[in-house]
């Protein structure tokens, strides 16, 4: 019996043609023609004010920390149920990470808890859109505006998802995307920072380009370029950008097909809710991109046993984030505030195989094996 992996990196078939074009163009380093095409595609299709390709979503968040001048003594509010780099990008600059709990119904930052966590030291609130399902951005925007802090969207999983009709990543002051091979579209490793406010528009180019004003030099605005700000080498090579551009052009189709797979799971597991196993909750404001399908088991032991049974049946399932406030490094930042929902998702959430190319018969195998487990 064939093994069903948790994911397969998407390959559409036309990537090689564009990569070959990049190879023969004579321009292989970053910030070239294919990089610019990707950035134009992102701004034109999704309404981002500025999009700059980065080597990862992590580096996009690290750029955000530089733009905000995050340093020792500052505080950044982050959901505890998140990937480590969501916090590490700011902790590495010396910030204290203030952990927020998630909602009880789905793994988004609990917007009702955030105001109480804001102090005069708060630099930013980070909203992570888990599984491409948007957080309550209206509430978070109101809080950020009231306190004069930056709202950052960690939209690693949600390209093409929307919040009340607006694309995720375009609502906050700064957004971050991932083009890692596990995402709906990818280039192996890659990301983008999204700038949605005038405050950071020009400076973002300097930070992105190693702290130099090379853009102004290339446009003939200065006679030579030099070091004008903090920065880094954030942009990916033209090979990555060429691969990515091929996939970005097919994103709408990819998301539609992934959502169809997601919907088959969702309908198939309706009866499990009668025994207390939860399916994903999608609020009315959200339109998601079919990135992840998960179940919430009734206990940690049950999740471990389900993953083990699926593994024995040749099916790879996976848990996801572990509560950052309970991690070895996170404990250094942890205030002691109880975060029960983050812990619940950390202990009970299990993700099922979802990738373009999984056949209906393979998906049915997964469904039947899960149902057999619960029977």
Inter-residue contact 350 to 298 (CB < 8 Å): no
Q: Is residue 214's pLDDT more than 90?
A: no
Same domain? For 267 and 223 the reply is no
Mean pLDDT along residues 16-32: 94
Residue with tokens 């009702």: 112
Mean pLDDT in the chain? 96
Same domain? For 62 and 74 the reply is yes
Inter-residue contact 36 to 51 (CB < 8 Å): no
197 vs 191: CA distance, rounded Å: 19
Regarding beta strands 174-178 and 150-154, do their DSSP bridges make them parallel or antiparallel, or are they unpaired? Answer: parallel
Question: Does the residue 4 lie in any domain?
Answer: no
115 vs 369: CA distance, rounded Å: 44
Lowest mean pLDDT among 59-68, 194-203, 216-225: 216-225
Q: Is residue 220's pLDDT more than 80?
A: no
Say how many domains are in the chain: 2
Q: What pLDDT, on the 0 to 100 scale, is given for residue 249?
A: 97
Same domain? For 105 and 161 the reply is yes
**What's 202's DSSP letter?**
H
Same domain? For 97 and 238 the reply is yes
Same domain? For 39 and 142 the reply is yes
Q: What pLDDT, on the 0 to 100 scale, is given for residue 103?
A: 97
Question: Does the residue 43 lie in any domain?
Answer: yes
Q: What pLDDT, on the 0 to 100 scale, is given for residue 308?
A: 98
Mean pLDDT along residues 173-184: 98
Question: Does the residue 190 lie in any domain?
Answer: yes
Q: What pLDDT, on the 0 to 100 scale, is given for residue 76?
A: 98
Q: What single string gives the DSSP state of each residue in 124-135? A: EEEEE-GGG---
Closest CA to 134 of 157, 117, 150: 157
- Would you tell me how many other CB atoms lie within 10 Å of the CB of residue 46? 21
Closest CA to 355 of 285, 273, 293: 293
97 vs 324: CA distance, rounded Å: 10
69 vs 368: CA distance, rounded Å: 52
Question: Does the residue 199 lie in any domain?
Answer: yes
Q: What single string gives the DSSP state of each residue in 12-69? A: -S-HHHHHHHHHHHT--SSSSHHHHHHHHHHHHHH--SEEEEES-HHHHHHHHHHHTT
Torsion angle defined by CA atoms of residues 77, 78, 79 and 81, in that order, rounded to the nearest 10 degrees: -150
CATH code assigned at 321: 3.90.1150.10
Question: Does the residue 8 lie in any domain?
Answer: no
290 vs 278: CA distance, rounded Å: 17
* Cα of 299 vs its chain's centroid, Å: 26
Q: Residue 118 belongs to what domain range?
A: 15-248
Inter-residue contact 185 to 200 (CB < 8 Å): no
128 CB-contact burial (10 Å; exposed 0-12 / middle 13-18 / buried 19+) = buried
Mean pLDDT along residues 216-225: 76
Question: Does the residue 130 lie in any domain?
Answer: yes
Same domain? For 202 and 283 the reply is no
Same domain? For 283 and 341 the reply is yes
Q: What pLDDT, on the 0 to 100 scale, is given for residue 33?
A: 96
CATH code assigned at 76: 3.40.640.10
169 vs 177: CA distance, rounded Å: 8
Q: What pLDDT, on the 0 to 100 scale, is given for residue 373?
A: 98
Mean pLDDT along residues 221-250: 92
Inter-residue contact 112 to 350 (CB < 8 Å): no
Q: Which two tokens stand for residue 206?
A: 């300097």
Mean pLDDT along residues 247-265: 98
Question: Does the residue 109 lie in any domain?
Answer: yes
Question: What is this structure's pTM?
Answer: 0.95
Instruction: Provide, rounded to the nearest whole percent, the portion of the chain with pLDDT above 70.
Output: 99
Same domain? For 332 and 229 the reply is no
Same domain? For 280 and 243 the reply is no
More confident residue, 188 or 215: 188
Question: Does the residue 9 lie in any domain?
Answer: no
Same domain? For 221 and 308 the reply is no
Q: Is residue 347's pLDDT more than 80?
A: yes
Q: What pLDDT, on the 0 to 100 scale, is given for residue 222?
A: 78
Residue with tokens 């390709």: 53
Among 203, 231, 248, residue at a domain's last position: 248
What are the pLDDT digits (tens) for 97-144? 999 999 999 999 999 999 999 999 999 999 999 999 999 999 999 999
Q: What pLDDT, on the 0 to 100 scale, is given for residue 221?
A: 78
Mean pLDDT along residues 325-347: 92
- What band does 213 get if pLDDT is binned at 50, 70 and 90? confident
Q: What pLDDT, on the 0 to 100 scale, is given for residue 7?
A: 97
Q: Is residue 219's pLDDT more than 80?
A: no
Q: What pLDDT, on the 0 to 100 scale, is given for residue 215?
A: 80
**What's 230's DSSP letter?**
-
Same domain? For 196 and 265 the reply is no
Q: Which two tokens stand for residue 141?
A: 């925007």
Q: What pLDDT, on the 0 to 100 scale, is given for residue 119?
A: 97
Same domain? For 309 and 344 the reply is yes
Inter-residue contact 54 to 66 (CB < 8 Å): no
Among 202, 220, 248, residue at a domain's last position: 248
Among 193, 227, 248, residue at a domain's last position: 248
């Amino acid at each position: 019996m064939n093994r069903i992996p948790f994911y397969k990196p998407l390959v559409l078939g036309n990537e090689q043609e564009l990569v070959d074009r990049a190879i023969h163009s004579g321009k292989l380093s970053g910030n070239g023609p294919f990089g610019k095409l990707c950035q134009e595609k992102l701004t034109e299709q999704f309404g981002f004010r500025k999009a700059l390709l980065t080597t990862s979503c992590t580096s996009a968040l690290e750029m955000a920390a530089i733009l905000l001048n995050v340093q020792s003594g500052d505080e950044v509010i982050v959901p505890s149920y998140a990937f480590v780099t969501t916090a590490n990008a700011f902790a590495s600059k010396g910030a204290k990470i203030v952990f927020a709990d998630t909602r009880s119904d789905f793994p988004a930052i609990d917007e009702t808890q955030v105001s109480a966590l804001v102090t005069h030291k708060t630099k930013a609130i980070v909203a992570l859109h888990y599984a491409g399902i948007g957080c309550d951005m209206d509430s978070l925007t109101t809080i950020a505006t009231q306190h004069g802090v930056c709202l950052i969207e960690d939209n690693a999983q949600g390209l093409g998802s929307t919040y009340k009709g607006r694309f995720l990543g375009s609502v906050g002051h700064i957004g971050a995307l991932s083009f890692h091979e596990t995402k709906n579209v990818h280039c192996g490793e890659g990301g983008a920072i999204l700038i949605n406010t005038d405050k950071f528009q020009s400076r973002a180019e300097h930070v992105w380009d190693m702290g130099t004003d090379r853009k102004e030099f290339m446009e003939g605005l200065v006679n030579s370029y030099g070091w004008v700000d903090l920065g880094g080498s954030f942009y990916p090579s033209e090979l990555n950008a060429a691969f990515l551009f091929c996939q970005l052009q097919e994103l709408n189709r990819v998301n539609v097909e992934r959502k169809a797979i997601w919907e088959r799971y969702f309908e198939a597991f309706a009866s499990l809710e009668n025994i207390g196993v939860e399916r994903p909750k999608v609020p009315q404001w959200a339109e998601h991109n079919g990135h992840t399908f998960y179940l919430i088991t009734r206990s940690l032991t049950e999740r471990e046993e389900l993953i083990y049974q699926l593994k024995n049946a040749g099916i790879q399932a996976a848990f996801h984030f572990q509560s950052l406030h309970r991690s070895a490094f996170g404990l250094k930042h942890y205030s002691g505030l109880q975060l029960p929902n983050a812990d619940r998702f950390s202990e009970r959430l299990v993700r099922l195989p979802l990738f373009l190319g999984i056949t209906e018969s393979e998906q049915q195998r997964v469904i039947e094996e899960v149902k057999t487990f619960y029977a």
